[in-house]
């Protein structure tokens, strides 16, 4: 039996979530409206690409390498049963370009870059820097949010492409150098099976969508954070949780849209 109090609490929770979604949408629109600064002061964006992209490069490349290693080993063990080890290149390349490249990069991106964005903006809010900007008639959405947003959106597909490339090289190192699959078969199987538009481009589109989602969530959480140390800490946690879940959910949707015939 649910008491009337429970029903009320449920209603309040649903209402809160829907309102949150509405605020999120408004935030997105405000961000887009403020984006003209990208063309007026591109240096702000390039600074953010440097901060978000370059600093994430190392963890992305190392993770890609190890994911490639593991794919090479696991794929070899399975394919070996059916006597088709040569298809290892195809398996590694397809799983990286279609799924793992964009998704794992986005998850790492949420952890590496998203958290720092949230913490930065949350602390700006706590230190009343954003309020100070408003007093000086500087729109913080324009000056602070928009460059970070576009920096993240630009950096994400680059990072995903690097991840996929390094992963394929990792698969090649394990498959060809360590296990001894024929290198020609490895590449030719890959080239005959990977379609540039269907697989590579769809992977890029996925990574752009993930970049938008993760960066937007990170900025939103920082923007909405309670201006206390605890509030910033919670917002950072929420960025990782909500960002990762959004990436996985969007990935399912996009895969269903893109790869269904």
What residue ranges bind another protein (CB under 8 A)?
43, 46-47, 49-50, 53-54, 57, 93, 97, 155, 157-159, 161-162, 164-165, 168, 187, 190-192, 194-196, 199-200, 203-204
Minimum CB separation from another protein for residue 75, in Å?
A: 15
Nearest Cα neighbor of 251 from 136, 29, 99 is 99
Q: Which is nearer to another protein, 116 or 164 (CB)?
A: 164
Task: Provide the token pair at 178.
Answer: 């360590």
Q: Which is nearer to another protein, 57 or 59 (CB)?
A: 57
CB 210, CB 110: distance < 8 Å: no
- Per-residue DSSP letter, 113: I
Q: Which is nearer to another protein, 176 or 242 (CB)?
A: 176
Q: Which is nearer to another protein, 204 or 247 (CB)?
A: 204
Q: Which is nearer to another protein, 129 or 188 (CB)?
A: 188
CB 91, CB 71: distance < 8 Å: yes
Minimum CB separation from another protein for residue 175, in Å?
A: 13
Minimum CB separation from another protein for residue 4, in Å?
A: 57
Give dist(CA 125, CA 223) in Å, integer. 7
Minimum CB separation from another protein for residue 244, in Å?
A: 23
Please report the sign of the dihedral spanned by the C-alpha atoms of residue 191, residue 196, residue 199, residue 203.
positive
Give dist(CA 230, CA 61) in Å, integer. 33
CB 151, CB 51: distance < 8 Å: yes
Nearest Cα neighbor of 247 from 118, 112, 109, 106 is 106
Minimum CB separation from another protein for residue 259, in Å?
A: 16
Nearest Cα neighbor of 250 from 219, 211, 199 is 211
Q: Which is nearer to another protein, 134 or 195 (CB)?
A: 195
Minimum CB separation from another protein for residue 168, in Å?
A: 6
């Amino acid at each position: 039996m649910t008491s009337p109090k429970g029903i009320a609490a449920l209603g309040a929770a649903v209402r809160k979530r829907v309102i949150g979604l509405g605020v999120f949408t408004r935030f997105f629109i405000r961000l887009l409206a403020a984006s003209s600064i990208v063309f007026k002061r591109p240096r702000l964006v390039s600074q953010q690409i440097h901060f978000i992209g370059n600093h994430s490069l190392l963890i992305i490349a190392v993770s890609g390498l190890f994911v490639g290693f593991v794919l090479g080993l696991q794929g070899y063990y399975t394919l070996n049963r059916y006597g088709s080890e040569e298809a290892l290149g195809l398996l590694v390349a397809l799983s990286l370009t279609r799924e793992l490249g964009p998704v794992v990069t986005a998850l790492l991106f949420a952890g590496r870059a998203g958290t720092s964005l949230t913490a930065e903006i949350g602390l700006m809010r706590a230190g009343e820097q954003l309020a100070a900007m408003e007093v000086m008639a500087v729109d913080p959405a324009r000056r602070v949010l928009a460059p970070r947003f576009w920096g993240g959106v630009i950096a994400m597909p680059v990072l995903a492409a690097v991840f996929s490339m390094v992963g394929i090289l990792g698969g090649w190192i394990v498959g060809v150098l360590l296990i001894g699959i024929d290198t020609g078969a490895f590449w030719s199987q890959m080239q005959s099976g990977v379609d540039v538009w269907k697989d590579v481009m769809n992977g890029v589109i996925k990574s752009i969508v993930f970049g938008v989602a993760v960066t937007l969530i990170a900025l939103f959480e920082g923007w909405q954070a309670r201006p206390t140390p605890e509030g910033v800490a919670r917002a950072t946690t929420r960025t990782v949780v909500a960002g990762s879940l959004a990436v996985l959910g969007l990935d399912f949707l996009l895969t269903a849209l893109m790869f269904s015939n």
